[in-house]
Amino acid sequence: MRTQAQDRLRRGHRCGALVLACAWFLIACSASAQPPDGDPFPLPAGVVSGEWALHGRGFAEQRYSPLEQIHTGNVAQLGLAWTFDDFVVRGRTHRGTQATPLMRDGVLYFTGPWSVVYAVDAESGAVRWIHDPQVDGAWARHACCDAVNRGVALWKDMVYVATLDGWLVALDARTGERRWRVDTLVDRSRSYTITGAPRLAGGNIVIGNGGAEMGVRGYVSAYDAASGRLAWRFYTVPGAGPDEHPEVGTARKSWSPRARWDLGGGGTVWDSMTYDPELDLLYVGVGNGGPWPVWVRNAGERPDNLFLSSILAIEARSGRLAWYYQTTPADSWDYTATQNMILADLRIGGRLRKVLMQAPKNGFFYVLDRASGELLAAEKYTQVTWAERIDRQTGRPVVSESALYAAAPRTVWPSTAGGHNWQPMAYSPQRGWVYIPTLEMPMTFSTQQGAVPYLPGANNVGALAAPPPERVQRSVLKAWDPVAGRIVWQSAPLPWWGGGVLTTAGGLVLQGSADGVLTAYDAASGRVLKKIETGLAIMAPPMSYEIAGRQYIAVLAGLGGAMNGRFHAGFAALEYRNHERLFVFALGGRAVDLPPRLDKVPQRPLATGLPADADTVALGRQRYLQFCARCHAPRSVPNGYPDLWNLPPALYAAFDSIVLGGAMSYAGMAGFADVLTPQDTLAIRAFIVADQQEMRRNPSAKPPEQGTGH
């Protein structure tokens, strides 16, 4: 039976002499002669097995290291070899780290906040160079989830970084000097941002962007790696104008003619992409719709809305679609399919299949034939209530009517954070298992009442989402058998928002967490073998490399991203001063020096002379929720941004120069004069002071909940 995954828009397979020519080209130009044991995917030319030169180490993005000097028998001796702390920080806000360091030719390349690139000696940490692309600080206003960055790409003698404000930059790998720079944004009046790492695919550097919540239209672009010339651009959703390529026309048939094109449509490619050099296919994970509810973005209708929340297989050199699979048709819960994708060869039903595996936000683990898009398996890896199951004949979910919140609020599993978010999972070819950093929490959804206007620089999601009062909120590392479709083992509950994962030939699985602990597990049993306390949240995935005969494990630390808006129970940032840091560990290393503990901030006096009438306070609350709450937590709830509920009097006096005039734009606090008036900012201050007074009258009152983003 023909499934949606097999409904190919054009046939991407080649035959005869062309296949032989392409295979020869890939072997000669893209592959090393001998892939490491257990890894059928070649590394780029010139890369040796002890290096980590691609985002997931190899093209398959398995995040598996063949190094085994550090193993289950001696990992207890793992200690700190050296650290790097010299990150660019703007103002008082530490933005955290999410990048995977790359290592080639004895140099580690990684990024920090504001898209700054660092090159350091892989043995000592000595700085080779630092490149600050001077991101426009005001652009942080356009970011749903902070000014973070997930890393660079390497190709030949160049390093590539994509900046928060939309530029793709090529740097000289030896000196850090800029070779070229191109603007990747099609419309700078909209809130596009880039936080993801670029990928190498077929001689091109490929990058997407974020902003689906903020009112943008998604696309992915490929640029010639040598020159920066645009090779192709693929739009993931239709728009108000003419169709740019045939696939857009096909997608348009699955949208309402009355769709809210003014709200962008979403479908951004904000994180995962994976390239198969043998098939010359680039696999692209597509994000959620904008706004979230399908009935809002389509004027009361519920069409599928291709290519939202889908996996696309795109021919890397031509930019044409080979196949697609939509994980969540008519997505209304922010269930992106942007989570990392892993390529492997698995024996399924007695046949060796070339597969793609993904655990997207929606809670199902998918195994697809990566050549054809055929669905091979789809099972729940966490609690799921939005759908009963995936129909194997059609490839479509059997959606539960109880998850549709158009008429009334509904509590649904998983939350908007998903069962798995951007933190990468990993695959061990030794065991054939995938290790998933899983998030477990429900969310209560309701549709925004009244009209949903487009608000520049603000969330335009058309829905409200918050954890229910009797919440479950935890992180769990799960070992998953993709052939059997079941959990093999899982860790004890961790604090919310666990980090990415590394597996090694030494039989290890390593993962950090928000409590600042790096844990080494036995990959076979899940037994904890080593815990290293760092005092800094570890969201980024560890990686491993070898130099001069010594194996190292490196991981970036520091809380930021979506979690900077509110610190949850167990976060290291509730106890220690949060900042950015690179940890590099090796056998025989020393203990980690913990950061200084937090100082208690005294309660400052209330501002005076502000209006206290109900209408002004109500207006202030509305404006605060529209434009401030995305970053600033209410009622002095601990978070990474300045506490608006305990500002010094001088900052109250300078409120308009900051909020309207942009006096702190360089540090990421942009001006809002285009959407706020002096009357609005006066009302915001009046609301804050009125709420401070209520807090002092009723100290036990709980602050309002905010939704969880990515």
Whole-angstrom CA distances from 27 to 15, 34, 45, 149 are 17, 11, 9, 32
- Helix, strand, or coil here: 691? helix
Task: State the residue for tokens 């890894």.
Answer: 39
- Give me the catalytic one of 136, 280, 334, 369: 334
Q: Give CA–CA dist 266/307, Å, rounded.
A: 10
Cβ neighbours, 10 Å, residue 696 = 10
Whole-angstrom CA distances from 319 to 42, 231, 282 are 23, 8, 9
End-to-end CA distance of the chain: 36
Number of H helices, E strands in the chain: 7, 40
Please return the burial class of 91, using the count of CB atoms within 10 Å of its CB with bins 0-12, 13-18 and 19+: middle
Question: Which amino acid, residue 498?
Answer: G
Q: Give CA–CA dist 534/583, Å, rounded.
A: 9
**What distance separates the 2 farthest-apart alpha carbons in the chain?**
81
Strand partners, 64: 503
**What backbone torsions phi and psi does residue 342 show, to the nearest 5 degrees?**
-120, 135
Using an 8 Å Cβ cutoff, are 592 and 80 in contact? yes
Using an 8 Å Cβ cutoff, are 171 and 160 in contact? yes
Quick one: which of 560, 424, 456 has its CA closest to 146? 560
Using an 8 Å Cβ cutoff, are 612 and 580 in contact? no
- Helix, strand, or coil here: 625? helix
- For this structure, is 334 an active site residue? yes
Rg (CA), the chain: 24
Joined tokens for residue 232 = 């192709």
Q: Give CA–CA dist 296/340, Å, rounded.
A: 29
Using an 8 Å Cβ cutoff, are 111 and 150 in contact? yes
- Helix, strand, or coil here: 4? helix
Please return the burial class of 190, using the count of CB atoms within 10 Å of its CB with bins 0-12, 13-18 and 19+: middle
Residues labelled catalytic: 334
